[in-house]
Structure 1
C-alpha cells in the first residue's frame, strides 16, 4: 500500500469530507492526525495577494496577462514565475490561483486583460512556461477557468454551447499544455458547457483526468459547487469553505449510497498528493529564490517595457532630449496599474507616467480631461491617524459600544472580505484628520455597501443605507457605490472625519469593504481641456496617456463598447491638431477604438503594466529600453468590424452559442476579409529587420534574421500554417510556433522554429487526425506580414 493509501486508511468519513471542502475563504483544510497542514492559497494572476486584502502586507504588482503574453517570451516567464513563488512563500501561500488561460473570444470580455491571448498556441506556450516556472520552486500554479469561461455576463449561469472540435482545438488546448507542463491544480469554472455546470461536467473526466492523465487537484471557482450529489463528479475541493453543500449533507449522502465513498477517497488521494508536492504533508516547503524590493522592481520594470507594443511610429520615438514635454491625460497621474477583480493586489510602491517621465524629461502636466466623477481613497499624505499621530487612519471594530480591536491602517480604501475581526464585528469606524492641500470645492464621502454614516468635526453630515448597484460580489467588493458631501475649503484646513459602516445581514451583505473617499478641487471641464491643448501647442512634444477605468474593464461584467471613456478621443484629436509630435500611450488591458491613430506621431500600447509603469514608460520613450511587445490579440478599427463580439447569453435558456467554431480572433478576421487597425503578432521596435533563407527539415524550420537598423533589437519570428483546398474546415492561417531572437546592429542570426505535430492535426469523432498532403508554412513578423513560405508534407 502506498503512503497516500496508508494515510487515507487512517481517516474516517467525516475527516475525509472535511478535506474536500476548504477550511476558510482562501485556505484548504488540514488534518493534524496525519500530519497534514492547512494550506493557504491566494489569487495570483498578476501578483500574490495572500489570504487577506491588507495594505500593511503589500504585494508586487506584475503586468497583466495580456502584457505578459505580449512579450512572447518564455524565458521572461521563468523569471516571473520565480518571483511569484517567492511572493507566495513570503505570504505563507502554497498555491497561486493563476494563470487565467481562457481565450480572447470577444474584445468585450470583462477579464480580457487577465487572459493571455486570442490564440490557443500562444496562450498554451505562455501558460506552460508560467506553470513550470512557479512549480519549479515548490509552489502550485492553478490554471483557470476550465473551460470556456471567456466572458463575464451572467457568468454563474451561462451555458456555453460548443462542438467537440471547437473545444479541443481552441478552448481546451491551453489547459492540455498546462497539464503536460505538470500543473498540480486546475480550477473549474462557474459556467456550464453543453448543458452541464462545469463543476460536475464530464470534461473533468475526459480529457482532463483520463486522456491527459491529470493527477492533481481540481478546485472549484469560489461558490461554483451547486449540489451535494455532484460530489460524485470531478471537482475535488469545494471553495470557499467550509462549503455547506459538502459538509454534513455530503456525509449523509455517502451513507445513503447517493454518493460513492470511493469518489470521496479519490478526491482525498489527489489532495494528499498535492500536499506532498507543496510540502504540506510531513514535509518542508521548498525555499524559492529571494527577491529584494530592488530586484523585484527591476524585473517588473523590464517586463513592462518588453510587453509594450509600439503599434505606430513615424520616427518620433525614441525621444531625443526635447526641451519641453506636455504630459496630458488623467491616466498620466492616476493610471491603471492592474485590472479589477480577483487579480487585484495592493502594491507597496508604484510609479505613474507622471512620476517616471518627470524623472528623466522636462515635463509639464495637466490632465486635460476628467474621466469620471468618482472619488479616490484619501491619499496617505493627506490624512493622519488620530490615535498615533502618524500618516494613515484608525480602524475600530465594534460590537455595539464595545471596541473589539483597533488597527492603524495605511490606505483610505480597505477590503474587509475574509478579515476575522470584520467577521466578528457588528460595525466599523474609520477615522482620520484630513489636511487640505488645495483651495476649492472638495468632495468628502464614503464608498461601501451597508448602513453608512459620515461625520465631519463631530457632526453627522450624511447617512445612507447603500445597496449594491449590481449582483456580482466582486463588483460589490471592488467598485461599491459612493456617497459624498461638498465643502468649500482653504489650503491648510484640517477636518476630523469619521466613516462608519454597519453591514446589513438581513440583505445577505457581509462586511466587504469600507473607503474614506475624497475628490480634490479641479478646473471646470472646458477650461481644463483648453489648458491641455494650449500646453501641447507650446511644447516640443506632447505625450497623451489615455485609458479605461475600473467601471469599464474589470471582472464581474463585460464591456458595452470599445470606446475610450470621457473626452479622451477628442483630447487626442485636438492635441494632434496643434502638435505634430503627439505620442499616445494607451493604458488599457484590452483593445480600444482609436479614431485618431493615423493622425499622431506614435501609438504605444502599455496594457496594465504593473507597479513600475512610469519607470518602464520612461525607459521606452527615451530609448533606454526597446518596446518589445507583439500583439497577442487583434485590435480593431471600430467595434462594428469585429467578427466575433457577443458575450451575452440568450435570455430564455442562458445559452451562449459558439457558432463561429474554430474561427475566433485573427482567424475570424482573415475569414471576414476585413482589415483591423493592428493585426495579431504586430509590433514595431527601434530597429529594422530582414528575414531570408527559410529552410525546413522535418518539422524544424530555420530562418536567417538580419538586423538592418542602427541599434540592437529583438524580433519575434512567427510561423503559421495554411492548407489550400482542404477537405476540412480550416482557418485561412493559424499559428504553429514562434521564436524570439536578438541581434546587434548589422548582425545576422538564425531563428529555429520547432513546429509541433499538434499544429498539423484536427479533431475528429475518432480523435486527432492529420489530413494527408502538403501544408504551407508561412514565416514572418505578424499574421499578415509573412514574406517567406515553404511546403511541408
Structure 2
C-alpha cells in the first residue's frame, strides 16, 4: 500500500471515528481516556468499540498476565538488536512481535525504547538501542514498521529525556533546545517521519521545568505540530499527575486505571469550566483512530486485514542473537574454535541471563543456556564445565528445583482460589487474579510446594516484597514479621532487592516442603491494585578461591577455555542506575587466573551494556554477547564453532568509567543539567581526546576486508570493499562526516550513514549510502529552526568511529 493509499484509508477511518464520537456523552468520553485496569481501555459496546489491550515489550509480548504460566518468545535485548546494524532484521523482529501480540490478544505494544545511552551508568540501557541518534532512529524505524505491518500498534518511548533511572519520577532534565533537537528528539522524529507510529509514551521526568505528561511545547508544538504525528499519546504508568495539566499538555490516555487523573476527574474539570470539551474530543478522536487502526472499532477497516506469514520465533531469536554478538578481540585466530577439548567456565554458562530486569521481563517457554548449546554442538566427551565464579551476590527467584502454587484465602482462612506460581513470583495486577478471587475477599496468599536442591549444603531462602510474611522450610518457621521498604519508591516491591530470611542445611536430591505466606494489605487510594512479591533463594556458597582453583585446573587441561562473565539483575535493571562498570563478584579474578593457565582463553561477556574488562589484553578473544534471548546458548554455539560468524558491531562505546566523558546521572536539588551539550558517546570520546577500550561501530568477523574505493557524487557515497579472507562474510560499512571549516560547536565527526556488504572469498562489492539532509544541519536556537550548513566536509568510510579506511572531500 502506498502512502497515498494509507492516508486515504485513514480518512475513511476518521469518518467512522467522527460518527462514533458524536454518540458519546462527556462521561463516556472521559472514561475512554483512562485505563480501566492495568493494561486495558474500556469497551463501549454502543459504538462498537472493543476493549483495547496494551502490553509491555520490547523483546517479547508479555500480555496482561505477568507470569511464566503464559510464556512468550524472548528475543535478544535492544542493544543486541542495534548491534546488528540491520534495520531489516529489526523489521523482522517487529513482525514476530506482532504475531505474538495477536496470539495474546494485544493491540498496542509498549515499545520500542529509543532513549539514548547518554552515560554508561544508565541502568536501563539494555532496553535502549544506542548512544547514536541516527542508528537509534534507523533501528527503531525498522522495529515499528515491522510491528505495525502485523496490525499491532507501537508506542515509541519514553518521550523524551528518560535517559537514566535515578529519581526518574521527579527529575527535571535541563536540556538545551539544540541538544534536544540534535540528539534526544532526533530518533523520535525519524521514526515519526519514516514509520508513522500509532502511539508514543510520554515519560515520568520533566524537561526544562515541565513534566512530560504536561509538556504542551514538546507534545503539541513539536511532536504533533512540526512532525505531524497523528497517533495516541499514552502516559508511562502513573506518570500523569494533574488533570488539567495533562489534557492541556496533549496527553490522550492516563494509565493505568481505574484510579487516574482522567475519567470522573476530567469530566468534572470540563463541567467546572477548567477544560474545554473540545480538548477532550481531540484526545478521544486519537484513541478511536488507534482503535480503528488495530481493528477494534466496528465499521472501520483495520490497517492490516491479512497478517504477514507466520514467523518461527525460536529460529529468529537464534538468528538475531548470533548476528548481534560482537567480536572485539581475536588474537591468533582463537575463534572459531579449533578441534580439541573445551573447558566452559562460569555460572552464567549454566544459568543463563537472557534478558534485563524490570518491565521488559517476559517468560519464554524454553531457554537454551551456553552449556546446553555447546553440549549439543561439540563432539561428545570434548566439553568440560566448571562454575569458576558466580556473579550473583544476592538471592534470585525460586526457579530451579521449586514446584510451587499460590493458594488464596479469605480472612477466615478459607481457600478461595489457586494458581500455579512458577519461579515463585506473584505479580497480579488489576483484575488478573485466580478464578474465584476478588480483591475484597482476598486476605492472604501462600506460595507452597516443594524444593529439591541440586547441591548439598546451607541453602538461603528469602523474600522480595513489602508487608507481612511468614516463611517456613521443611516444617520450621524461620520468619514471621513485616518486611518494610528500603526507600520511598512506589516500585520498590517490583524492583527492590530480596532479603535473606533463612539458612537451612539440605541434601541434594531430597525434596523438602516450603511455604511463604503474604498478608495482602492494599492501601486505599492506589491508582492501581498490584500484588507483587516473590520467594527467593540462593544455593550453598562455596569458597570462591576453591571455585576459581577448580576452573583453573579445568582450563589447564583443555585446548581452549571459554569463560562466561555476566552482570545480574541487581546490576542492570529498570529502577536504578549503576554506580560503576565492574563485573560483580570475583569474575575479573577468575578470568585472569584462567588466562594465566591457558593462553587460548576466550571470554564471552553476558551484559546488556558496557562493563569494564581490565583483563582484555590478557586473553585471546573477547566476544560480547549482550542479553541474548531464549536461544542465546544455541546462537553462541553457532558462533564459537564457526557455523556462523559474529555479525555485530558496537552500538555504543565501551571503555573504563574513569575515562567516560559523561558520568553524571544523579540530580542535584531535583535537576540534572545536560552540561555536555551535543557531546555524548563517540562524539564525546573524540572531543575529550580519550581512547576507549572499543570504539563505537567496532566489531570483527571471521574474514578480512579491504576498502578499495570511495566515490562521492552530490550526497551519494559509494564504497567498494573486497573480502580478502577465506570464508564468506558481512561487513558494515560506516560513513562519518566531519566539518572541514572552523569549529562551530559541532562534533569533530558524526555517523552519517551505513550499509552492509556481503561477499564470498575474493569477491568485491559496492555499497551505496545516501547522506540525509539532516546530517548537514544544525539547530539554530535564535531562528528556532534547522539551518543547513554549507561548506566543505570530509567523508570517511571505515569499520568504526576509530577506524577510517578511506576519505574524500565533499562540498555542499
TM-score over 0.5 (shorter chain)? yes
- Show the 5 A alignment for 1:110-509: 110-180=123-193, 181-201=195-215, 202-230=217-245, 231-282=247-298, 286=305, 288-289=307-308, 291=310, 295-361=312-378, 362-379=382-399, 382-383=401-402, 392-400=403-411, 401-418=413-430, 419-421=432-434, 424=439, 425-506=442-523
CA contact (8 A) 1:472 1:556 kept: no
In 1, distance between residues paired with 2:20 and 2:262? Answer: 21
- Show the 5 A alignment for 1:504-515: 504-506=521-523, 512-515=531-534
Q: Offset of 1:301 from its aligned partner?
A: 0.4
In 2, distance between residues paired with 1:274 and 1:447? Answer: 38
In 2, distance between residues paired with 1:242 and 1:502? Answer: 23
CA contact (8 A) 1:317 1:623 kept: no
- Show the 5 A alignment for 1:699-738: 699-726=715-742, 728-738=744-754
Q: Offset of 1:182 from its aligned partner?
A: 0.8
Match for residue 9 of structure 2?
none
Secondary structure of the corresponding residue to residue 535 of structure 1: helix
What per-residue deviation string (whole Å, max 9, x for no partner) do you get for residues 447-493 of structure 1? 33221112234443322311223444445214442333222233343
Match for residue 10 of structure 2?
none
Of the three residues 636, 656, 660, the one matched with 2:676 is 660
Q: Offset of 1:370 from its aligned partner?
A: 2.8
TM-score of the pair, normalised by structure 2: 0.93
Of the three residues 566, 571, 587, the one matched with 1:547 is 566
Match for residue 591 of structure 2?
572
Q: Indicate yes or no: 2:76 matched with 1:63.
A: yes
CA contact (8 A) 1:322 1:541 kept: no
Of the three residues 23, 32, 47, the one matched with 1:10 is 23
In 2, distance between residues paired with 1:675 and 1:604? Answer: 20
CA contact (8 A) 2:710 2:717 kept: yes
In 1, distance between residues paired with 2:15 and 2:309? Answer: 35
What per-residue deviation string (whole Å, max 9, x for no partner) do you get for residues 79-108 of structure 1? 111100000000000011111000000000
CA contact (8 A) 1:689 1:709 kept: yes
Question: How many pairs does the alignment contain?
Answer: 779
CA contact (8 A) 2:55 2:64 kept: yes
Distance verdict in 2 for CA 1:451–1:242, change over 3 Å:
same
Q: Offset of 1:373 from its aligned partner?
A: 4.2
CA contact (8 A) 1:477 1:512 kept: no
In 2, distance between residues paired with 1:549 and 1:20? Answer: 38
CA contact (8 A) 1:449 1:503 kept: no
In 2, distance between residues paired with 1:666 and 1:186? Answer: 28
Secondary structure of the corresponding residue to residue 701 of structure 1: strand
CA contact (8 A) 2:425 2:534 kept: yes
In 1, distance between residues paired with 2:176 and 2:790? Answer: 24
Secondary structure of the corresponding residue to residue 34 of structure 2: coil
Where do 5+ consecutive residues of structure 2 fail to align?
Answer: 1-13
With 311-320 and 728-737 compared, the bigger mean Cα shift is at 311-320
In 1, distance between residues paired with 2:572 and 2:490? Answer: 16
Distance verdict in 2 for CA 1:435–1:727, change over 3 Å:
closer
CA contact (8 A) 1:377 1:515 kept: yes
Where do 5+ consecutive residues of structure 1 fail to align?
Answer: 384-391
What per-residue deviation string (whole Å, max 9, x for no partner) do you get for residues 751-784 of structure 1? 1111111111111132111122222111111112
Q: Offset of 1:534 from its aligned partner?
A: 1.8
Secondary structure of the corresponding residue to residue 659 of structure 1: coil
In 2, distance between residues paired with 1:353 and 1:508? Answer: 47
Secondary structure of the corresponding residue to residue 209 of structure 1: helix
With 565-574 and 720-729 compared, the bigger mean Cα shift is at 720-729
In 2, distance between residues paired with 1:627 and 1:77? Answer: 17
CA RMSD of aligned residues (A): 1.8
In 2, distance between residues paired with 1:782 and 1:217? Answer: 38
With 417-426 and 12-21 compared, the bigger mean Cα shift is at 417-426
In 2, distance between residues paired with 1:348 and 1:618? Answer: 20
Match for residue 387 of structure 1?
none
CA contact (8 A) 2:39 2:64 kept: yes
CA contact (8 A) 2:497 2:570 kept: no
CA contact (8 A) 1:47 1:61 kept: yes
TM-score of the pair, normalised by structure 1: 0.95
Q: Offset of 1:319 from its aligned partner?
A: 3.6
Secondary structure of the corresponding residue to residue 27 of structure 1: coil
In 1, distance between residues paired with 2:523 and 2:54? Answer: 30
Q: Offset of 1:68 from its aligned partner?
A: 0.5
